[in-house]
Amino acid sequence: MEMTRHPLPIGAIGTGLAIAGVIAYSLVPDKLWLVTLLEGSALTCLIWAFATHFDQVKRFSSQRSTRMGANSALMIALFVAILAIVNFLAARHSIRWDFSENQNYTLAPESYRVLRNLPREVSVTVFTREKDPGYQAYKERFDIYRQANPKLTVQFIDPELQPKVAQNYGITHTDVAIFESGPQSVRITSPAEVEITGALVRVSKDSKKRIVFLEGHGERSLEDKDRGGMTLTKEVLQKQGYDVGTVTLLQEPAVPENTDVLIVAGPRRAITREEQERIRDYVAKGGHLLLLIDPDTQSEINDFLGSWGLEFGRGVVVDLQDRLAEGELTTLLVRTFTDHEITHELPAVVLFPLARHIHFHEDKGKDWDYVPLARTSQRSWAETDLKGRVASYSEKEDVHGPLAVAAALTPKQQSEEGKPRPAVVVVGNSAFASNGYINVLGNSDFFQRAVSWLAEDRDIISLTPKDPAARPFIFNPLQERILFWVQTIFLPAMTVLCGLLVWRKRRRL
């Protein structure tokens, strides 16, 4: 019996070589000679198979089923071509739609403005691992930034795979991003937009603006880590790119010339007349002053403020409407703001644990523009005789609301060209900016905006963290009582009533 010899399936061999070439390119893209050899051999085998089986292909193509199949194949080929063209165009002219609740994948206008105005290249090195929680967040966020400006280059480094590089940068933990541009270097530990944009602002400038805190009168200390200190506040300012320091005007003849903002945070003792004159001279020369003054202190500040038409009123502000539910009568939740650069679209209410109100006398401050930044509700007053939790309004002694607890001053007359314009912000409380409260509600936003406005940093005044998708609702006393009656009394009563009506109707059937 003669053995039948089957010809070698040259077409199958060519197909296998083509697939092998694709696999080789994905595994070793640098060895192009191997990929070229495999794909060239595949092409030769396929042409040979087509030539040797031409008669079979011709007979097969004349069949009716083949023509129908060819039409289907043509439609599939056209569809694949359309998809390829659309993907090609999308890759080069990509358009993004953000359907998340809080637009988490869309940058704020301030961020786009910072990116447009980047004066030079900025390189970012992110030290993270793919399994770390911050990896994906950093990657998604920087993809948006790089799409907005090609001057931003980003590389991700796994500190375990490249320990030498991590050691050179002093990396001790992951999820750290380092921004470098020119002589500046800034590092952040969070992929939040406010952190990234703030870092871009800082790293693209050759110098830092200086924020100076007054010392010597029992003010809140930048080195105090307790609730009443301001170490967290100092960190907030440093993250915004400011150089933070202190000054003692009892020892210095004047406020240092490189001071962009002078902050007086909760003095407990009187500021001497000599110091007041030095601060007044600083403001007159175009300085920027932030005063945070608490009630019931011996700071003796009203005489100093009188030249600007300002005065802190007596007593402590009490608000029966805008206050923290189940809290002290003096714990204010301020939610009424004047439209100003500092308060424009402020994302949350500001909590003042204890506050005093502010008066403005137009006759004394006729050369100044006065803006009451934050006010209490109609159901508030300045209580001059607060004993424990007992408070009652007295027309003779107390001042009825609404009352200003924060205000901004600027001169009506424009400064000469090239000279800085003076500005003053006063707040009737300093505890809101302390360690215990700086990260509560909108306190950090309000404080940062006030400092940024005084420092004339327009790029980051309105740049604040986006609210989380789940936002807790903070009740005032009236809302708490309404919720109690609705949830505890009305809804259960309606349920019982509906049940009785249904039961009675069924008994009649």
**Per-domain residue ranges of the chain:** 10-92, 109-188, 207-460, 480-509
State the SS3 of 319-341. ECCCECCCCCCCCEEECEECCCC
CB 334, CB 376: distance < 8 Å: yes
Report residue 488: phi and psi, to 5°. Answer: -90, -30
Q: What is the pLDDT of residue 327?
A: 65
Q: Which residues of 374-399 are buried (b: 16+ CB within 10 A; e: fewer)?
A: bbbbebbbbbeebeeeebebeeeebb
Q: Is 3.40.50.880 the CATH number for 207-460?
A: yes
Instruction: Average the pLDDT over 225-242 and give the result.
Output: 85
Given its phi and psi angles, is residue 441 left (phi above 0), alpha (psi -120 to 50 degrees) or beta? left
State the average pLDDT over residues 313-321. Answer: 83
Cα(29)–Cα(411) distance, integer angstroms: 67
More confident residue, 140 or 22: 140
User: What local confidence, expressed as pLDDT, does residue 313 receive?
Assistant: 85
Cβ proximity of 355 and 316 under 8 Å: yes
> How many Cβ atoms sit within 10 Å of the Cβ of residue 303?
11
Higher-scoring residue by pLDDT: 464, 380: 380
Of 399, 447, 450, 405, nearest in space to 427 by CA: 405
CA–CA separation, 7 and 392 (whole Å): 107
Is residue 443 within 8 Å of residue 435, measured between CB atoms? Answer: no
Q: How far, CA to CA in Å, does 82 sit from each of 72, 73, 189?
A: 15, 14, 43
Least confident of 214-223, 389-398, 424-433: 389-398
What phi and psi, each to the nearest 5 degrees, are found at residue 279? -70, -40
Helix (H) or strand (E) holding 317, with range, is strand 316-319
- The per-residue pLDDT for 127 is 92
3-state secondary structure labels for all residues of 174-208: CCEEEEEECCEEEEECCCCHHHHHHHHHHHCCCCC
Is pLDDT above 70 for 300?
yes
Alpha helices in 105-162 (DSSP H): 109-116, 133-148
* pLDDT (0 to 100) of residue 342: 86
Look at residue 463 in the predicted model and tell me its pLDDT: 57
- For residue 65, the model assigns a pLDDT of 60
Alpha helix locations (H) across 322-470? Answer: 443-454
Q: Which of 238, 279, 230 is nearest to 259 (CA)?
A: 279
Res 382 pLDDT > 50: yes
Q: 267: burial class by Cβ within 10 Å (0-12, 13-18, 19+)?
A: buried
Amino acid at 228: G
pLDDT mean over 283-288: 91
Q: How far apart are CA 402 and CA 463, in angstroms?
A: 29
Interior CA angle at 189 toward 184 and 193, to 5°? 85
Secondary structure (H, E, C), 270-299 = CCCHHHHHHHHHHHHCCCEEEEECCCCCCC
Question: Going by C-beta distance under 8 Å and a sequence separation of 6 or more, which residues neighbour residue 362?
Answer: 309, 370
| Residue 471: predicted pLDDT | 47
109-188 homologous superfamily: Glutaredoxin (3.40.30.10)
- pLDDT higher for 331 or 429? 429
- CA nearest to 126, candidates 114, 142, 112, 108: 142
pLDDT higher than threshold 90 for residue 261: yes
Backbone angles phi, psi at 458, to 5 degrees: -70, -25
Cα of 305 vs its chain's centroid, Å = 34
Indicate yes or no: pTM above 0.75: no
Question: Is-same-fold flag (109-188; 207-460)?
Answer: no
Q: Please write the tens of the pLDDT for every residue from 8-37.
A: 477 678 777 778 877 876 777 666 677 778
Query: Residue 63 has what pLDDT?
Result: 61
On average, the pLDDT of the chain sits at: 79
Given a cut of 60, whether residue 91 has pLDDT beyond it is no
pLDDT higher at 312 or 4: 312
- Residues 221, 225, 228, 232: is their CA dihedral positive or negative? positive
pLDDT digits (tens, 9 = 90+) for 475-484: 555 666 677 7
For residue range 340-361, what is the model confidence (pLDDT) as tens digits?
Answer: 888 877 767 888 888 888 989 8
Q: What is the mean pLDDT of residues 288-295?
A: 91
Tokens of 317: 């502000």
pLDDT higher than 70, residue 401 = yes
